[in-house]
Amino acid sequence: MQNEGVRSLGVRVFQALVIVAWVIFAVLGIQGIAERLWYGHHAANYGSYVVWGLWVSAYIYFIGLSAGAFLLSSLIYVFDFKQLENLGRLSLFVAIVTLFMALLSIWFDLGRMERFYNVFLHPNFISIMAWIVWLYSIYTVIMILELWFSLRPELARMQSAAGIKGIVARALAFSRGPLSPEQEKRCLHYLRVLAITGVPLAITFHGGVGALFSTLAARPFWHTPLMPILFLTGALVSGGALMTFIVSAFWKNGDAEYREMLRLLGKVVLGLLIFDVVLEWAEYSIPMWYGVGHEVDLLNKVLFGEFWWVFWIIHLGLGTLIPLLLLVFGGDRPAAVGLAGLLIAVTFMTVRLNIVIPGLIMPHLRGLESAYVHPRLVFHYVPSFFEWKVTFFVVAVGITLFFIGYWLLPLIPAKDKESLHGVA
């Protein structure tokens, strides 16, 4: 009982924090977006040499969250994970929201935003970038269909509900009254077929994002065959961690089922985290042992350069070590598992930054920086406040969409939207 009191207090504090963060992000974000649309890229710190920065990092971060959440939902639908079955719809929805956030981030990075459709009109199917854009499009369609098939039985039952929820249910259910058992079965059938189809698709496109970097022989830091695998593992661990956190924060009914679900999610995330650390060790230790070359110089910059703390403190400390301890020693405690999920999911952004930026900060032709001097022609990059504001906008949009969906759609069982004691 005492635990329940602490828990409801925690939920309240968390809700207040989310609202405050959302307001700050939205206000700064709208300002940033206005600046982006009015003045273009003027206030950004990337240039001709460090051509990609925060927005591209945010893009691969969000796309990883999406692929991870999606693969989790497929796991649930394809292999029928009983303990996690209530998580399927929410995972799908989170995958859609984070995909939208990713595409928004990369869209703001384009030099000519209004021409994005050229990828559909004039695709170059040798370019991995063209491939992943086409695969995202198919992925979006599959996810929306999957979500609809997964929600339809519930929506059909909700049509008589009062207010907006009822209107939404009537608009989306495409049926008069509840579905027949046959219809519900057919929905589940299509859902499973799409979920299976989505697995190779998600692996291909997210491995493809890794390949987008790793195929560039010009950038030794990216040019490693391990990169697509690292991207996939990263997607699974960050997406899984995000879903773990969301369960701990949004399932208000702290019953045994909920505890079991978090215990299992914690184990999955722990396993993935350890696997990710092993891959990262391979990626870092092999060039470091050899000790010479372009890649070593860049790894040295990541580990011991100006931004050493991003790797050691944020990624390794907050994002790996503390979650590892929380999951190993607190795996039975929902709050510990949820906190571990939050830490991993949020700090994974630094992993993405530490892929994109170091790849660009050292030219093959040393001395280019002093050959023709301009702030856009330097091999040093720190995101400007303007760039952060645009990313805040993307985050605010994501939070908004999440809450709208959470409120309007039957994404989680009704009993879990209520606390055991009615405190929420």
Partner 1 sequence: MGATRREFLEAGAIIGAGAAVAATAAITARLDHRTTDPVGEETVRHIEVLPSVPPSPEEDVLVRMQRDLARAMAKPVEQRRWVMIIDTRKCVGCHACTVGCVAENHLPPGVVYRPVVTEEYGEYPHVQIRFFPRPCMQCDVPPCVPVCPVHATWKRPDGVVVVNYDRCIGCGYCITACPYNARSRDLGEYWLDGAAETETTSELPILGQNAPWEKTPSNEYAKSWDRTKGSPVGNARKCHFCLHRLEVGQLPMCVTTCIGRATYFGDANDPESLVSELMAAPNVIRLLEHLGTEPRVRYLI
Interface positions with partner 1 (CB under 8 A): 40-42, 44, 46-49, 51-52, 77-80, 109-112, 115-116, 118-119, 121-131, 133, 138, 189, 192-197, 200-201, 212, 215-219, 359-360, 363-368, 370-372, 374-377
- Chain centroid offset of residue 319 CA: 15
Tokens representing 52?
């990609």
Our CB check for partner 1 shows the closer of 25 and 139 to be 139
Cβ neighbour number for residue 43 with a 10 Å cutoff? 15
Identify residue 409 by its one-letter amino acid code: L
Report the nearest approach of partner 1 to the CB of residue 419 (Å): 32
Half-sphere exposure of 15 (CA within 13 A, CB side): 12
Q: Provide the CA 273 distance to its chain's centre, in angstroms.
A: 15
CA distances from 199 to 246, 271, 321 (A): 22, 20, 30
Q: Give the separation between CA 222 and CA 360, rounded to whole angstroms.
A: 9
Q: Which is nearer to partner 1, 116 or 281 (CB)?
A: 116
Closest of 344, 326, 222 to residue 272, by C-alpha: 344
Closer to partner 1 by Cβ: residue 1 or 218: 218
Q: In 3D, which of 268, 403, 264, 236 has the Cα closest to residue 334?
A: 264
**Complex with partner 1: residue 123 or 413, whichever CB lies closer:** 123
Closer CB to partner 1, 176 or 366, in the complex: 366
Query: What's the closest the beta carbon of residue 45 comes to partner 1, in angstroms?
Result: 11
Q: What is the number of alpha carbons within 13 Å of residue 343 lying toward its C-beta? A: 25
C-alpha 145/C-alpha 97 separation (Å) is 14
Taking the least distance from each CB to partner 1, the nearer of 45 and 320 is 45
Among residues 187, 185, 196, the alpha carbon closest in space to that of 152 is found at: 187
C-alpha 280/C-alpha 300 separation (Å) is 15
CB of 75 to partner 1, least distance (A): 10
For residue 94, give both structure tokens: 């989170």
Give Cα 203 distance to the centre of its chain.
15
Cβ 119 to partner 1 shortest distance, Å: 5
* Conformational region of residue 117, where left means phi above 0, alpha means psi within -120 to 50, and beta covers everything else: alpha
Closer residue to partner 1 (CB): 22 or 136: 136
Shortest distance, CB of residue 203 to partner 1, whole angstroms? Answer: 11
Min. distance of Cβ 128 from partner 1 in angstroms?
Answer: 7
In the bound state with partner 1, the residue whose beta carbon lies nearer, of 215 and 300, is: 215
Question: For the chain, what's the residue count?
Answer: 424
To partner 1, the closest distance from the beta carbon of 55 in angstroms equals 11
Q: In the bound complex, what is the minimum distance in angstroms from residue 187's beta carbon to partner 1?
A: 13
Check if the beta carbon of residue 344 is closer than 8 Å to that of residue 269. yes
Q: Measured from the CB atom, is 124 or 160 closer to partner 1?
A: 124
CB of 76 to partner 1, least distance (A): 10
